[in-house]
Amino acid sequence: MATSRADKVGSLLFCPDCGTLLALPKDGETVVVCEQCAYEEPATSYENVSITTRSAPEAFPSALRQKRKTQTKHHETGDQGTLVSEKCPACGHLQAYSKEMQLRSADEGSTVFYTCASCKHGWRVNN
Ligand SMILES: [Zn+2]
Ligand SMILES: [Zn+2]
């Protein structure tokens, strides 16, 4: 069983033989091998130091989350909405553009807005 001889500076460990910064142990590894002189430092030496580099990978998911937020859900149709078979209450035309909107919270249902394809009359239906 190897004993810890590495020089600890903050959360970093340095090789006691050549002074090289030792890498963090990978999962399942029991020793960290110095890249320069092959000195072996037990991975347990890292258990008592705070590993500051752990916060770094978390920066990536937040960046992804931000990216996802900006990608707003959009329908393939334009601003008018989807052309559906719906009878206009004003002129009796049988096609209207429909747009579904989540007005309040998700559990309060949604409202579908219709715009007549003929006379542009607008009305809405609560689901
Ligand atoms: Zn070394
Ligand atoms: Zn109409």
At residue 67, what is the residue type? K
- Residue 39 C-alpha to ligand 1 middle, in angstroms? 5
Higher-confidence position of 27 and 69 = 27
In this structure, are residues 37 and 2 in contact, taking their beta carbons and an 8 Å threshold?
no
Distance 31 CA to ligand 1 centre (A): 13
Does the domain spanning 82-126 belong to CATH 2.20.25.10? Answer: yes
Ligand number nearest CA of 13 is 1
| Burial class of residue 95 (count of CB atoms within 10 Å of its CB; 0-12, 13-18, 19+) | middle
**pLDDT greater than 70 at residue 53:** no
Q: Backbone phi, then psi, for 67, in 5-degree steps?
A: -65, -40
30 CA distance to ligand 2 centroid (A)? 75
Helix (H, G, I), strand (E, B) or coil at 66: helix
**What is the pLDDT at residue 105?**
65
